[in-house]
Structure 1
């Protein structure tokens, strides 16, 4: 379940409703809450943009690094591991069929293909950064 800025505003409004009886003060408190949360969100977006534009690989490269680590982990978990278990289990036994791919791998693959398709769409529309 995702927790977004709308959820934070709703939680803050419940607290304001309990502790601020004056309608004018309540309206001002709600406006201040919304403004502070939006400023926080804009600050995070500015940080993300600065990180992505950095020429330093250590700063800009953490997202690709996470992608490679997750890709390797998925490869080991869903391909290398099952094949290794199958190969070691076959030692001295009659030939067995190789293991089937886990259904979770298919779900992840289609999600990644969807993201790749969106990236291609961005490039076609000319809104991609690079």
Structure 2
């Protein structure tokens, strides 16, 4: 719940309850309920419009950052992508192989049984980061299927 919902939603509901208590006829009650519904719809529309403007502004910032010649400004997204790819490769390909190898080496008494297994990554945090990056990747895939040349944008 955002700040506008907290203040705006509570005011709209309060006005609706007060109006309901003051109006007696069914016709007047329906008219006031209709006005309250219109107000709620208008409020929701304005809230969505603000969200859209915020997302559009972020997209513009992203475009400017991506064109910057400095690697620390333009390169942070690819860096996060590569780190995510390496972490996923470790977690789902390398780690299971290491566990198998570790168990085999311990059974052959090459590695002492007191030495614990290789570390496991925090997959919850990893999925949060990688899924955000994949959202960007899906948009790029959409551009490719529509033959949109993003280098000219």
Give the TM-score band, short-chain normalised.
Answer: 0.5 to 0.7
Q: Aligned partners of 1:68, 1:46: CA distance in 2, in Å?
A: 23
Offset at 1:76?
A: 1.2
Matched, 1:67 2:84: no
Q: Unpaired segments of 5 or more residues in structure 2?
A: 20-34, 109-129
Matched, 1:18 2:13: yes
Aligned residue among 23, 47, 67 for 1:53: 67
Offset at 1:56?
A: 1.7
Change (3 A) 1:83 1:53: same
TM alignment of 1:94-109, pairs within 5 A: none
The structure with the larger Rg is: 2
Question: What do the CA deviations read for 1:66-119 (whole angstroms, capped 9, x no partner)?
Answer: 11111111111112112112112112647xxxxxxxxxxxxx9xxx7xx57x74
Change (3 A) 1:120 1:35: closer
Q: Which has the higher contact order (CA 8 A, sep 6+)?
A: 2
Q: Aligned partners of 2:11, 2:71: CA distance in 1, in Å?
A: 44
Contact 1:51 1:59 in 2 (8 A): yes
The equivalent residue for 2:121 is: none
Offset at 1:122?
A: 2.8
Aligned length: 103
Paired residue secondary structure (1:55):
coil
Q: Given the two structures, how large is their TM-score scaled by the length of structure 2?
A: 0.47
Q: Unpaired segments of 5 or more residues in structure 1?
A: 1-6, 95-107
Q: Aligned partners of 1:73, 1:79: CA distance in 2, in Å?
A: 10
Q: Aligned partners of 2:93, 2:81: CA distance in 1, in Å?
A: 17
Paired residue secondary structure (2:150):
coil
